[in-house]
Amino acid sequence: MISTGVSFGHRQVAEADHWILALDPAPSFACTHLVQTPFPHVAISVVSTSSYETTDELRAGADAAATGRFGRAVIFPGSSELTGRLTVAELLERTGIDRVEVLGSGVAEDDAVVDTRDFVRPQFRGDDLVLVTMPAAGGVLVPFETRDPTPCCADHG
């Protein structure tokens, strides 16, 4: 397995997610990282049997991703099995996620039910992979990050 950083200058995490999920063979681990060099964009860290090339112009972003500690995991151990509803205990047992938290309330109870909505993107906090959730209708928890977030109204151009 090769661990490397790569950058193609993706402006949106969805673009980087799409690139990651299209890899064949699939990597064993892949994260997105918001980097600032040479311009704000999404770079990627990948653990795979394949290697990927980054242009010299984007090398600083790729290097930042390779050494970044605060990645957003797209592919991680057990990620392909995170579909439907399962308890926090089941989620922790089946995946590489270390902790499930409820936004503003701390660590989720083991018997709490998470409706994955088939889109789970935990983030590293130090060495822990943490899934942040929020309460939803029906007494379940759902991942805080959604597949189709509401666009921001601010002009960031």
Q: Kindly write down the DSSP assignment for every residue of 124-135, as one continuous string.
A: EETTEEEEEEEE
pLDDT tens digit string along 122-138? 999 988 999 999 999 99
- Torsions phi, psi for 78 (to 5 deg): 85, 0
**Single pTM value for the model:** 0.90
Cis peptide bond N-terminal to 38, omega within 30? yes
User: Domain containing 36: what range?
Assistant: 4-75
Please report the pLDDT score of residue 157 as a whole number: 55
Q: Which of 60, 75, 90 represents a domain boundary (last residue)?
A: 75
Same domain, 12 and 71: yes
DSSP state of 6: E
Same domain, 22 and 70: yes
Q: What angle do CA 69, 70, 74 make, to 5 degrees?
A: 110
Q: Can you tell me the mean pLDDT for 95-104?
A: 97
- Torsions phi, psi for 71 (to 5 deg): -70, 160
Q: For residues 132 and 122, what is the distance between their CA atoms, to the nearest angstrom?
A: 7
Same domain, 93 and 114: yes
Same domain, 52 and 103: no
Same domain, 91 and 67: no
Number of domains within the chain: 2
Taking 80 as the threshold, does the pLDDT of residue 18 lie above it? yes
Taking 70 as the threshold, does the pLDDT of residue 152 lie above it? no
Same domain, 51 and 9: yes
Using DSSP's 3-state secondary structure scheme, residue 51 falls into coil
Please report the pLDDT score of residue 126 as a whole number: 85
Q: Which of 22, 51, 75 represents a domain boundary (last residue)?
A: 75
Same domain, 58 and 98: no
Same domain, 10 and 68: yes
Taking 70 as the threshold, does the pLDDT of residue 144 lie above it? yes
Distances (CA, A) of 57 to 84, 121, 127: 41, 28, 30
Q: What is the mean pLDDT of the chain?
A: 92
- Does residue 155 belong to any structural domain of this protein? no
* DSSP-derived secondary structure for 73-92: EEE-TTGGG--SEEEHHHHH
Same domain, 32 and 58: yes
Are the beta carbons of 21 and 121 closer than 8 angstroms? no
Same domain, 93 and 137: yes
Q: Which of 53, 75, 97 represents a domain boundary (last residue)?
A: 75
